[in-house]
Structure 1
């Protein structure tokens, strides 16, 4: 396996890390936010397609309201459907049964990441990389949502694991692992991430440490296994739905860069330069420290060359996206945490102490703010805080939950104990940072979960609008004496998931076949699109940029 040994023997300080702490942190970090809430954001979109696929048995090309799922392969939907069918059969709620797939993939990713670190850097570092990954604030949301990104993250870590032990394993086994990582990346985000990983693999041969017969054979085996695996879904789509295959190839096959007939490239953007620090903190500054310490070793040593090459090519890949998005930064998180971990024990104590102080200050103030807001909002002890909360989320109904308070109170002293250590060094500072992130995330998903759920879920808006409709009209909707329709997919998905009565789809149909129409939009956008319409009823959130449901005749 590729394990770097420094030519200078240096006695490293004894590690006081406890395996149980990593396991406890990971479990708390993973489960907080999985349960007890509705669908947020894009979760509803994927969940609706999973349900439709199960009901209609259209596994090759899931379709909902006449809109096919064609932006990528349905690989994630297949796994989500299997997870839902398996877990709901034993009584687990539907939303949790699909989110459980995310939990499994993130858990497996952290495990594979730790094993790869052991192979690359040695056993001593294998617990640091999962903790540093947990500490990266940017990955929190997709790590707890119904999302394709956990599978992409898994594919990146599987790729790094395969390369970390290619000399110790048989050629076919390593090639199979690499091809599987490429296949998952392709089926989740089409061609771009696969081409990036392939290009990294080829460019590694520029370094003499990777120019050997075994690595060349591994590359060949990987390509020969990957090509038929990757061709399975496109070939089936081409045979059964040739029109939709052409649509995928022309518009979506290049993922974030569009398709072959309509590529979307832009001039280099500063977007990722501005966001990489907070998204990957503390991995990014620690990786910069590692580059400074390694100097020429960063490209002379084959392992560090691999990390540096991946970061450089990955960042170049991100720069030319016409529609940049923070979560694309996960493409370079594995090499960043590898590189940052490699020199964690050389971090000067004053820097480690500063990172620890920053964590204590930041998370301590955030914890005080969350507790103060929770008490003020639910007990109405501060008119100013209550008014501010109502401005951001007027639909929230204050209430106190003893169970939520007990959970939050239990973890608060645990965090205080974990950060109250003397002689802080690099790895302790990283552990404390990860503990702080987990602590704040747990407080948010306990004390603030109801408030956030009311703000991010469409259910309260739908309930409010239904309460505004006269009972006679509502009865007509329920008895199908009148109907409402919408030509907006997001509106159809959200409304039919939570409402008492269903609305009809007018996508690719006449708009006036129902007496009423409904739309999820902002007031400004609605007025601009339908200036002549007199709104009949609408649920409202006070902030102008918030979406609202509008029902009109």
Structure 2
């Protein structure tokens, strides 16, 4: 097996996979979760509040969260989400549901770019393999359906990979695509992401496939397209708010590494080493198996681009100052490209392990989700039903024929998928992708309302609203950014943070504490206290200052 030479593309047997089945699987993975869920911490409340700020007619150059500038990430995703939210209002969608359609748009672009890169690097039939490996990654599931700027950066990174793979064959279209990809990374993330993509492009001429006369022209055209676009927002921000521009430049401009005031390296030790084994599964396992089996062919162009891309992404993760899971998304496409190379020649034992592990894991998880459905609607088994109600006391199940039919459709489609006969490598990744799609669809359809009841701040906002003053300012203490965003999103409430304004002249104070009760500060009277239903870690206290 180790001396096996893959057949040339013209010698491959006719493809048995149907493109429409791949498209259907991608849609089944992508669509559940975009609608019907309330904003979830940590990113979604922040993005939803920024989108509301833009829809209210404020300048697009200055993102604001609860009355304060928010410049941790560049605003391209916020702009696109605002457009979708505006269109969604005409369809009767809530603001955050409409904005979440931008996530679906960027994720579709990321999957498309991943498939195009694999097809260009490896050959026909391998694009779908890379897409299946990518959507099977456990770490992509939640950010791939959430309001987060990371998916826009991921889309730019994937299309940047395609541009570099295309450059030896069609340099001028590749230059335009590379320029757009660089601009997307810079306008959706920070300066670090386009710099990493540009560094990848500069390293590739170390290999013969990218040492052709017009490669320099490709880079010049790409930079001519990207640099004015990337520079446009910081310039607009500096005109809109000098303070916000200084904050971005000093603390956030370099993304992974902080800002220019002080480049910061090093995150909590071992964070990504603990994250990646499950986050990038099964992509890292398939990539590792491919590299071992094809270790004598690693100097082929189909390995060179993804290996350099993966090395750069991993190096940035290990050196970065931020322990943020969203940054690890950039490692997934290169691993998928490498894994796709060896999928058809993967050893039967490795393929059987991935296939068996996926079928058993997702089959059992699907059975558990169906058990949750029975417990929610029929109270059986009683112990599970009681636990579900205990974790979300405000949850009230509603029976939906449409949701039941969709759940049955997901289950039957998965049973059909795992029973089909295909080459063992492709069968393994197809069954894995189908399994993760099945469980995600069942989780959203069965437990979506339960998740809203347990994690949403909407009921909390309705509970505290009658106790808030009609006029005057409210100080706050120990509120996270997502909590301030939630209060502003649902109630229009902006507070003066004591962390920024040590002695605000406010007669009201909102504090957040943990499981242990907080005593009123001297001179303050407790007016209200509460938390989200079933939440024992966060409790909020509203105080009014005693009259002198």
| Alignment partner, residue 379 of structure 1 | 378
Structure 1 residues without counterparts, runs of 5 or longer: 467-473
**Distance of aligned partners of 1:217 and 1:268 in 2 relative to their CA distance in 1, 3 Å threshold:** farther
| Alignment partner, residue 55 of structure 2 | 54
Contact persistence 2:6–2:345 (CA under 8 A): no
Shift of 1:151: 0.8
The superposition leaves residues 200-232 of structure 1 with CA deviations (integer Å, 9 ceiling, x where unpaired) of 111112222222212222123323333222221
**Distance of aligned partners of 1:290 and 1:158 in 2 relative to their CA distance in 1, 3 Å threshold:** same
Q: Distance in 2 between matches of 1:86 and 1:420?
A: 41
Counterpart among 483, 508, 514 of residue 522 in structure 1: 514
Shift of 1:444: 0.3
Please give the TM-score of this superposition, normalised by the length of structure 1: 0.88
**Is 1:130 aligned to residue 120 of structure 2?**
no
Counterpart among 485, 494, 497 of residue 489 in structure 2: 497
| Alignment partner, residue 528 of structure 2 | 537
The superposition leaves residues 106-148 of structure 1 with CA deviations (integer Å, 9 ceiling, x where unpaired) of 1122122222222111112121111211111111111111211
**1:44-443 to 2 correspondences below 5 Å:** 44-171=45-172, 173-266=173-266, 269-298=269-298, 300-422=299-421, 425-443=424-442
The superposition leaves residues 251-304 of structure 1 with CA deviations (integer Å, 9 ceiling, x where unpaired) of 111113111113321179432222223212221111001101211321x21231
Contact persistence 1:290–1:339 (CA under 8 A): yes
Q: Distance in 2 between matches of 1:8 and 1:44?
A: 50
Q: Distance in 2 between matches of 1:225 and 1:286?
A: 36
**Distance of aligned partners of 1:263 and 1:303 in 2 relative to their CA distance in 1, 3 Å threshold:** same
Q: Distance in 1 between matches of 2:526 and 2:13?
A: 69
RMSD of Structure 2 on Structure 1 (CA) = 2.8
**Distance of aligned partners of 1:378 and 1:534 in 2 relative to their CA distance in 1, 3 Å threshold:** farther
| Alignment partner, residue 471 of structure 1 | none
Contact persistence 1:486–1:504 (CA under 8 A): no
| Alignment partner, residue 38 of structure 1 | 38
Contact persistence 1:349–1:424 (CA under 8 A): no
Shift of 1:449: 0.7
Shift of 1:9: 8.5
Shift of 1:465: 5.0
**Distance of aligned partners of 1:374 and 1:518 in 2 relative to their CA distance in 1, 3 Å threshold:** farther
The superposition leaves residues 125-175 of structure 1 with CA deviations (integer Å, 9 ceiling, x where unpaired) of 12111121111111111111121112111101110111121123243x322
**Is 1:452 aligned to residue 454 of structure 2?**
no
Shift of 1:36: 1.4
Q: Secondary structure at the match of 1:200?
A: helix
Q: Distance in 1 between matches of 2:468 and 2:537?
A: 27
Contact persistence 2:234–2:245 (CA under 8 A): yes
Shift of 1:512: 5.4
The superposition leaves residues 10-63 of structure 1 with CA deviations (integer Å, 9 ceiling, x where unpaired) of 955554322222111111111101111211112121111111123242111133
Q: Distance in 2 between matches of 1:9 and 1:95?
A: 46
| Alignment partner, residue 540 of structure 2 | 549
| Alignment partner, residue 469 of structure 1 | none
Contact persistence 2:106–2:151 (CA under 8 A): yes
Contact persistence 2:100–2:146 (CA under 8 A): yes
Q: Distance in 2 between matches of 1:64 and 1:358?
A: 44
**Is 1:462 aligned to residue 461 of structure 2?**
yes
Please give the TM-score of this superposition, normalised by the length of structure 2: 0.89
Shift of 1:7: 8.0
| Alignment partner, residue 23 of structure 2 | 23
Counterpart among 494, 502, 506 of residue 513 in structure 1: 506
Contact persistence 1:486–1:492 (CA under 8 A): no
Shift of 1:539: 2.6
**Distance of aligned partners of 1:532 and 1:211 in 2 relative to their CA distance in 1, 3 Å threshold:** farther
Contact persistence 1:99–1:146 (CA under 8 A): yes
Contact persistence 1:73–1:187 (CA under 8 A): yes
**Distance of aligned partners of 1:86 and 1:162 in 2 relative to their CA distance in 1, 3 Å threshold:** same
Q: Secondary structure at the match of 2:540?
A: strand
Shift of 1:353: 2.1
Q: Distance in 2 between matches of 1:531 and 1:374?
A: 49
Q: Distance in 2 between matches of 1:534 and 1:424?
A: 70
Q: Secondary structure at the match of 2:35?
A: coil
**Greater mean alpha carbon deviation, residues 350-359 or residues 57-66:** 57-66
User: What number of residue pairs does the alignment pair up?
Assistant: 534
